[in-house]
Structure formats: structure tokens, C-alpha cells
Amino acid sequence: MLTDKQKLQLRTFLKNLGAKDAAELQTKMYADSQLGVFEEFLVMLTGRPKPEAILYTQKLGKDFPVKGSTDHAIENIVNRMADYY
């Protein structure tokens, strides 16, 4: 379970990607994942080993909300990650 502070840090990280909509957020998040930035952030945030962060990113990709506002997509990610961790 993520703490409120961790959720806030995750929201800030995702907002800093500067996406205009959920689909662009997904694209930028995956680009970060390919560079290892998103996975490293998850490791730093949760203290969990990298393989779990990678599994989370893959799981999220299967049913990521590509429609709707960026804020809604960010909340979706935060809620799913809170459930995952």
C-alpha cells in the first residue's frame, strides 16, 4: 500500500511528463520506461526491486485508459499502483 506522500510523489512525477491527454501520457510513460526512468522512480518510491516495477509497468499497459483527461489518467495510475504495491 502506498502512503499519501508516495501517491503525491507519483502524481508529481506523472504531471511533470507534461502530457496533454491520457494517450500522450501513456506514450511518455512508456518512453520513460524504455529508458528505465519510470522503473527507477518506482524502485526509489516503493523500495521494491526493479523486476516488480517492470511487471507493474507491463500490467498497467494492458488496460491503461487511453481516453479521457490527463488528471483522470494520473489518478487511475495512482490508484492502480496503490493496489499493486
What residues does each domain of the chain span?
Answer: 4-84
> Within the chain, what is the greatest distance between any pair of CA atoms?
31
Per-residue pLDDT at 65: 59
Model confidence, pTM: 0.80
Residue-wise pLDDT for 12-67, tens only, equals 999 999 999 888 888 888 888 878 888 889 889 988 877 676 677 667 766 665 66
Dist CA 13 CA 38 (whole Å): 9
Dist CA 4 CA 22 (whole Å): 23
